[in-house]
A = this chain, B = another copy of it.
Amino acid sequence: MYIGVDLGGTSVKVGLVDNNKLVEMRTSETGRDKSPHDLVADIVRLSKEVMDEYNIDEGYVGSIGIGCPGLVHPKQGIIIKTSNFDFENFHIKNEIKKSLDLDVYVENDANVAALGEATVGAAKGKSSAVVVTIGTGVGGGIVIDGKIFSGAFAGAGEVGHQIIKFDDHMTCGCGRAGCWEQYASATALINQAKAVASHKMIEIAGGYDNIEAKTVFDAADQGDEVAWQVLNKYFDYLAIGLTNLINIIQPEVIVLGGGISAQKDKLVAPVVERVQAQMYGGLKLETSIVAATLGNSAGIIGAALVGPSKKSI
């Protein structure tokens, strides 16, 4: 039994994971105004609550894992820098250990979500997986042989920050321009749709400003030609970066996550077709491309699994 923590910019979710399943969960609000010590107090309180609810104490829990946004130092257990909170270089591991008698693991949130999908979700049983999370940006996590591959300095998996169009005007938050994220994120799809918004899209969304990624899929479903054009171009963009990843890493499976993955085969099928068309020398696409299955639980379950994944070395 393990505790997983999904620390986000608006909420912290703490869950108890038993036999790879989320059996208890508690949530608390976070925010930029929260001090790191308040956050730790919340994590400790919620952890005790889920253990109480399940009628166990720390002796029955293997470890606690925390998925944190931004740049973390897993070995030292430090949140180095994140755009969600104002603090820097916070030793979250040490602080939590003061109040909980548990091994504490700290990892990047995209990496733990990838570990969740790779261990019990869409990539279960696969030797290697890249999980591409399509949301505000395009995040990623690499899992090889059941363990997070975070690179030599805990910064690997930033798959959204591969330039797919240099000399581009699409400047990126990372400081470069022409990154995949500028074309393939849900934000990008929304912008692409808004640029040519059809009456149908605006009607479905209940107003131009309300257009979201799902709107485009729904409008296309209803036969809106403009929505189809937007989607077809968007699938092209997705396929470019995915093919790049396959040429570089060639994982056994690529998992598409984020809210847009709820579109399942409406997203996956056209993307697979395009990636196949771009395979080296016309070879067969061997990497599977699938939609995520854990949804919002990926972060908590994956965080809980960090400890056991390290112990299985």
Is A60 part of the contact surface with B, judged by Cβ < 8 Å?
no
Which one, A41-49, A84-92, A159-167, is touching chain B? A159-167
CB proximity of A108 to chain B, nearest CB, Å: 12
Residues of A whose CB lies within 8 Å of any CB of B are 71, 81, 126-128, 140, 142, 144, 149-159, 161-167, 173-176, 237, 240, 243-252, 278-283, 286-287
Partner of A249, one of B127, B156, B282: B156
Whether A251 lies near B151 (C-beta < 8 A) is: yes
Nearest residue (CB) in B for A251 is B152
Number of copies: 2
Q: Which residues of B contact A142 (CB under 8 A)?
A: 249
User: In angstroms, how far is the closest chain B Cβ from the Cβ of A9?
Assistant: 17
A176 in contact with B243 given A153-B286, A155-B286, A286-B155 (CB within 8 Å): yes
Identify A128's interface contact among B152, B167, B278, CB under 8 A. Answer: B152
CB distance from A171 to the nearest CB of B (A): 12
- A127 to B159 Cα, complex, angstroms: 21
Please name the residue on chain B nearest to A237 by beta carbon: B166
Chain B residues with Cβ below 8 Å from A281 are 81, 173-175
CA distance A282 to B246 in the complex (A): 27
- CA–CA, A249 and B163, complex, Å: 14
**Within the complex, which residue of B81, B280, B286 is in contact with A175, where a contact is CB–CB below 8 Å?**
B280
Sorted from nearest, which 7 A-B pairs have the closest CB atoms? A151-B250, A152-B252, A162-B244, A156-B250, A153-B286, A158-B247, A161-B247
> Are B248 and A159 in contact (CB-based, < 8 A)?
yes
Asked if B158 and A280 sit within 8 Å, CB to CB, the answer is yes
Shortest CB-to-CB span from A81 to chain B, Å, is 8
Q: What distance in Å separates the Cβ of A144 from its nearest Cβ neighbour in chain B?
A: 8
Q: Is the CB of B244 within 8 A of A155?
A: no
Given contacts A174-B281, A175-B282, contact A245 B248 (CB under 8 A): yes
In contact, A151 and B249 (Cβ under 8 angstroms)? yes
Give bound CA distance, A161 to B149, whole Å: 22
Bound state CA distance, A166 and B237, in angstroms?
9
